[in-house]
A and B are shown apart, each in its own frame.
Chain A
């Protein structure tokens, strides 16, 4: 099973600033995803991070707000741009090795915007 390291684990940021979250997988994976989980809620998919091309965003999420990079098969970043208190949430990175396989998750980044 893949092991996912996510950094930072938590941060407190000023509104209007940006934070980049890193996701490192210990093996090459086919698919990587970014989720948001607001307090007491379930997971919401932000986007699929595509290796070598632009990420695929879900409804309600845009590239200008959540730019994503995936330079290779083991690494991705999510940036939360121009943050506001409404962006306070847990952000989770996920990876899958192939079709119909299980997804593995990082421990999440707990973001608080003040």
Chain B
């Protein structure tokens, strides 16, 4: 069973910031939160991951709440090429990534 909960789909206007929420209320203290995306017919692409501090890289920012029960992935200036399914993932007790259904993000012109 997925240990994260994400909205099924979201829309965002091109050029605006896309904010994708994720709930991971059962996360343990040493578990990282990972974000990936999958553009149609391609393999998943790593975006970012974090433990408790906010993280930023060239693709996105990750904001993790203080209690670590939820996080938000921010794409600061969404483009049409950001249309994809976005997965928020934690690992299970066997260290495997648990893939839920993800959020289908549609960027509209």
Assess the B46–A106 pair: CB atoms within 8 A: no
Tell me, in angstroms, the Cα distance from A110 to B49 when the chains sit together. Answer: 28
Known: A100-B32, A102-B49. A45 touches B42 (CB 8 A): no
Minimal Cβ-Cβ distance residue in B for A92: B43
Q: Sort chain B's interface into a size bin.
A: 10 to 19
Q: Any chain B CB within 8 A of the CB of A53?
A: no
Number of interface residues of A (CB under 8 A): 21
Assess the B43–A105 pair: CB atoms within 8 A: yes
Q: Render A83-101 as a binary contact track against B, CB cut-off 8 A, 1 for contact.
A: 0000000001000000110
Assess the B44–A92 pair: CB atoms within 8 A: yes
Assess the A43–B99 pair: CB atoms within 8 A: yes
Tell me, in angstroms, the Cα distance from A33 to B97 when the chains sit together. Answer: 10
Q: Render A22-38 as a binary contact track against B, CB cut-off 8 A, 1 for contact.
A: 00000000000100000
